[in-house]
Amino acid sequence: MRLGIDAATLERLEGVRALGETWIRPVGLEADRLGRPTPPEHAFFEQLVKSGQGRTRWSGEEGAPDKPRPASRVGATRRLLVISEEMSYWDRGVTVSFPGPGLGDPPVTSMGTPEQKRRFLGPFLEPDRPRWGSFAMTEPGAGSDVAAIKTLARRDGDHWILNGAKSFAANASRADWIVVWATVDPSLGRGGHRAFVVERGTPGLGDFVVERKMGLKAYESTSFSLRDCRVPAENLLGGEEHYARRAGFKGAMKAFNATRPLVGVMAVGIGRAALDEALGFAREQDLLGDPRVRDRLERVRRRLRGARLLCWRAAWLADHGRPNMVEASMAKAVAPAVALEAASLGMELLGEVGGRGDHLIEKLFRDVKAMDIVEGTGQILRIVMARHLVQLPRE
């Protein structure tokens, strides 16, 4: 795993490993046992902020659009992937619960005006307390087909009025703000998309419900409604001129192309944990004398390494400002399936022990299923890759 990783990142990995043993896995097991997300006032989050976690990836500076990326920033995405994989090895649900702007960071960074970045990401440069941001695209009737969102946005003087419902938004009820995707006209499809930063306490934002899940229980997946929600016009992400270029949907997809390799490598982390636990159990039960067991364990290790390289390739392209739609789709489509194979093998080796519900592999088996769903299902991503293969036009 250390191939091509710089010394500073290796040092951070050691810190994450120590944090994982003392905090991340115990907090994840506690949340799974209690069946609820880790509360925002938990001492763990205070500890994270004190240690420098919970910050934005935005540098706090604005450069010219044609200015080359600083050398220090090239490689930042892959470094993020390396750290995120290790965090997810200890517990992916806890990793998503970490304070910070979360999935709201990429769209604000890539689409926001300089003033919007200062307003919404500035507090995450040196956070004074645990803070969260959130991202809300999914709706009860629009999951994988994000072009079908129905949340309506109507201009009313110096405000926009939003009406609709969102679901499965991570950490939304505790967030300072939520990036909400809406449409000015459903008949326009992707051309009608707009993104708004809706701040906590905005009139009409409410009905928060934390959904019950089979796994990844340490972070909240929240549904909420927007009822005549009045959002200031200056909270339209990117301003009106951004959407004159029909860039709303492109902005959403750019955010997904940045986060899909991240979700993929998180799945690799879960798969590594399942493989290590399965290997340990097989050794304890004297199962390693069976060549079939050894072969399947090695196959999982080989496939996990291949999935990691797919994620790293997509990250490398992102770091160098190159298109990575296909590579991001590959990473997200492949890695969760491999991780599920690792957890499934572990459950097979456990046998009846797995049915007791008290072994880490059983928890990982429940956790990993969501990885094929979030940030675009495997089926949808395979459609994206197939359309590109036969050179069909992008819809």
Which residues are bridge partners to 133 per DSSP? 177
Is there a contact between 229 and 199 (Cβ–Cβ < 8 Å)? no
* Helices then strands, each counted (H, E), the chain: 12, 7
DSSP string computed for 310-323: HHHHHHHHHHTT--
Is there a contact between 231 and 212 (Cβ–Cβ < 8 Å)? no
d(CA 235, CA 252): 16
Is there a contact between 165 and 208 (Cβ–Cβ < 8 Å)? no
Q: How far is CA 393 from CA 243, 251, 376, 387, 388, in A?
A: 22, 19, 19, 8, 8
Q: Is 375 a catalytic residue?
A: yes
Cβ-proximal residues to 113 (8 Å cutoff; 6+ apart), any chain: 238, 239
d(CA 294, CA 120): 51
Q: What is the CA radius of gyration of the chain?
A: 21
Q: Roughly what angle, to the nearest 10 degrees, separates helices 25-34 and 76-97?
A: 40
Q: How far is CA 6 from CA 10, 79, 176, 269, 272, in A?
A: 6, 9, 34, 19, 21
Residue of 240, 298, 375, 395 marked catalytic: 375
Burial of 308-344, coded b for 16+ CB within 10 Å and e otherwise, reads bebbbbbbbbbbeeeebbbbbbbbbbbbbbbbbbbbb
Q: How far is CA 316 from CA 19, 263, 394, in A?
A: 27, 15, 23
Q: How far is CA 251 from CA 191, 193, 213, 369, in A?
A: 11, 9, 29, 27
Q: Pick from 257, 260, 359, 349: which is nearest to 300 by CA?
A: 349
Tell me which residues are annotated as active site. 375
